[in-house]
A and B are shown apart, each in its own frame.
Chain A
Amino acid sequence: MADARSVVLGRIRRALADRPAAAAIPRSYDVTRPLGDLVELAAERIADYRAEVHQVASADVPAKIASLLAARGARRMVGPVDLPSSWQVDGAEWLIDSPSLTIDQLDAADGVLTGCAVAIAETGTIVLDGGEAQGRRALTLVPDYHLCVARADQIVGIVPEALARLEPTRPLTFISGPSATSDIELDRVEGVHGPRTLHVIIAT
């Protein structure tokens, strides 16, 4: 008996016996768009998902981190191995993912602090790629609170601009607001399995 692979490929070739010619793909959609002040738009759109957004000057990021953690009473914070030392502010105990933290350690923490790879203003999305100051995916998933720092130069306008900046073979996570569901009466409510609170600091 022929193996499944050659059977399926054979069926496809027979099904396409009429040799349908694929038309050229019309790429007349926007690959960029004038959206005005991207920082303002990103802040507005991220906040639209009921995430909290704070715009601060780069030099003030550590102070903002400290005040946000203090206001939440977050004392045990997870961070990737390359978390900038200036972000590891006093007042919290920093659990750095080296050696790898266990899932139970992540679950017992009060939150996680990371950077990001790209942010998309139009959709209010931050994208993590496991690169600088981001760590592996579990870090930003298991703790119930995610504090993310995005630099102004990481913000792009629309989706095509973001994809052009990303390397597809890295593990990627696109995050638009805190965990949510539309499964009850098709109305969105925040907070299911992922972090239920998302705070974003935009460093300008």
Chain B
Amino acid sequence: MGSNPVTWLGSPVFPKAAKAALADTQLRRNLRKATHTIRDKRTRVVSELPDWEELRRAGEAIKDDVLSNLDTYLERIEAAVTARGGVVHWARDAREANEIVLRLAREAGTDEVVKVKSMATAEIGLNEALEAGGIRAIETDLAELIVQLGHDRPSHILVPAIHRNRSEIKEIFQREMAEKPVSDEPRELAEAARRHLRRKFLSAKVAVSGANFGVADTGSIVVVESEGNGRMCLTLPEVLITVMGIEKLVPTWQDLEVFLQLLPRSSTAERMNPYTSVWTGVTPGDGPQQFHLVLLDNGRTDALADRVGRQALRCIRCSACLNVCPVYERTGGQAYGSVYPGPIGAILSPQLVNDMHDKQAASLPYASSLCGACYEVCPVRINIPEVLVHLRAEAVEAKGRTPESVGMAALGWLFADARRYENAQKVGSLARHLAPSGRISSLPWPGSKWTSTRDVPTPPAESFRTWWRRNRG
């Protein structure tokens, strides 16, 4: 693994991984059910707020301000955290961040840490680094626990085990837990997780968390969660280590009034998530008496240097873009080969890797139909399609002439001439004769590249252009 394990070593390029995922009908069913459940709920709670668009615009502007003055705000939060009894560390990359956390855990004299779900620590491969250093990292978020016990990889930003349904989760728990759940009722499975982790929480000495927000002015750190596992980790241990990406800042406490409305509604589709914790340095007599904040770069400054791509650093990791993406819904998250899947992953991962000669990273900006649904739901208005197209250009530049660029050139030729386009449509219409039922489940090559993983509606007998000429021409 290089210094930047944002993408998983040995992952195939996206089209290849997607093809394997599409063959898994169970996976497609699980994903469809989950994404549609959350999508509908999100629409309902967002429509409750008359000022949703104003909140999005404010969120966008606040994050742009943070990025434009990132050095100033980082120095500010460092000073504020230090003044309140915390210790601030800086990490250029994954390796350096992992070394800091490992050293701090060793100094605390423990061989086990409890963890709050955190994208930053997943991105840097912290658990594996701690394991290699002889320290066990215990994931306490239910979905992370399902992934960890299932010896699996995450597939969603908010719900890493979204690709598993209740009966698969029951099987994992029955295999791995001392006190086994008896049914696949979600309530029973949650209860099993509670029993499994209870003693760990009550006896843990060191906890590791990420951060949803850091307030530059006050040094306050915010963690947004649902289960109370976060509160357990943030409250009971003696030592708390928080790993935070440098872009996770907001300038002032007041700015949180925007994000505490945008985030819950966009992520779990709730008016508010069950628990939000805010702490500032160390509070005598309440919570961990040692607090360390690790500020993580790991490719973020490379993304910041890209004038089009830097907007990806506004991301607050809500995962709304995953839940509406037609590509994500069919392939699932693991096909993206990174802890950041879906539309945001397709623009964030390649930028963090920052090497378009890396075939897997360079394939990610193509994991999209550019339908724009992700942009529409993004609470901080990241123009994901714009960045996708920008990164495709970079990938093409890095690669030179390829089948993709040849294909695009051919399409250009087809669209450039009206008669050529019409003739191509007529050929498509002939496909009707293959499918009297109205669905085509297999086409001859090159159409088979498409139909091996999905059904195609039969093209109409007549193209719109022909119909128009006949009726109105």
Contacts and interface: CB of A to CB of B under 8 A. Distances in A.
Interface of A: 3-5, 7-9, 11-18, 20-31, 33, 45, 48-49, 100, 103-104, 107, 120, 122-125, 130, 136-138, 141-142, 158-160, 163-164, 168-195
B226 A182 contact: yes
A171 B273 contact: no
Contacts of A103: 202, 236
Nearest to B78: A5
A9 B71 contact: yes
Contact of B231 (A13, A173, A184, A188): A173
A179 B274 contact: yes
Interface stretch (B124-132, B282-290, B387-395, B431-439): B282-290
B58 interface: yes
Grouping DSSP codes into helix (H, G, I), strand (E, B) and loop, the A interface class, with mixed when no group exceeds half, is: loop
B70 interface: yes
Nearest to B233: A193
Given A29-B51, A130-B286, A182-B226, A138 B70 contact: no
B90 A5 contact: yes
B246 interface: yes
Interface string B141-155: 111001000000000
A175 B141 contact: no
B55 A194 contact: no
Interface stretch (B9-17, B159-167, B334-342, B363-371): B159-167
B327 interface: no
Contact of A159 (B158, B257, B295): B257
Nearest to A190: B187
A176 B33 CA distance: 26
Interface string B34-46: 1101100000000
Contact of B236 (A120, A138, A174): A138
Nearest to B219: A169
Given A14-B305, A137-B235, A179-B228, A191 B190 contact: yes
B64 interface: yes
Given A4-B90, A8-B297, A191-B190, A183 B146 contact: yes
Contacts of B455: none
Given A8-B297, A171-B286, A181-B190, A141 B228 contact: yes
A169 B161 CA distance: 35
Nearest to A158: B261
A167 to B, nearest CB: 9
Interface of B: 30, 33-35, 37-38, 50-51, 54-55, 57-58, 61-62, 64-65, 67-71, 74-75, 84, 89-92, 96, 140-143, 146, 158-159, 161-162, 165-166, 169, 186-187, 189-191, 193-194, 197-198, 201-202, 215, 218-220, 226-229, 231-232, 235-236, 246, 253-254, 256-258, 260-261, 264, 268, 270-281, 283, 285-287, 295, 297, 301-302, 304-305, 307, 310
Nearest to B280: A169
Contacts of B74: 8-9, 12
A28 B215 CA distance: 21
B interface SS class: helix
18 contacts: A15-B305, A21-B68, A25-B62, A27-B58, A33-B50, A107-B202, A120-B272, A130-B283, A158-B261, A173-B231, A174-B275, A182-B159, A184-B169, A185-B30, A185-B186, A186-B34, A193-B227, A194-B228
A163 B250 CA distance: 14
A186 B220 contact: no
A25 B158 CA distance: 28
A130 B278 CA distance: 12
Nearest to B91: A4
Contacts of A164: 254, 257
Contacts of A23: 61, 64
A16 B68 contact: yes
A139 B278 CA distance: 16
Nearest to A130: B286
Given A163-B253, A169-B84, A194 B54 contact: no
B271 A176 contact: yes
A192 B92 contact: no
Nearest to B229: A193
Contacts of A15: 301-302, 304-305, 310
A183 B304 CA distance: 32
B261 to A, nearest CB: 5
B435 to A, nearest CB: 34
A53 B264 CA distance: 22
B34 A29 contact: no
A126 B38 CA distance: 25
Residue among B35, B64, B227 with the most chain A CB within 10 A? B227
Nearest to A137: B235
A124 B229 contact: no
Closest 5 CB pairs of A and B: A194-B228, A15-B305, A11-B301, A192-B227, A193-B228
Contacts of A25: 58, 61-62, 65
B219 to A, nearest CB: 8
A123 B272 contact: yes
B182 to A, nearest CB: 16
Q: Output the residue of B143, B286, B302 with the most chain A CB within 10 A.
A: B286
Nearest to A4: B90
B305 A136 contact: no
Contacts of A173: 231, 275-278
A49 B285 CA distance: 31
B232 A174 contact: no
Nearest to A178: B274
A160 B256 CA distance: 8
B8 to A, nearest CB: 22
A7 to B, nearest CB: 6
A185 B36 CA distance: 10
A192 B159 CA distance: 15
Given A11-B297, A26-B57, A193-B228, A168 B253 contact: yes
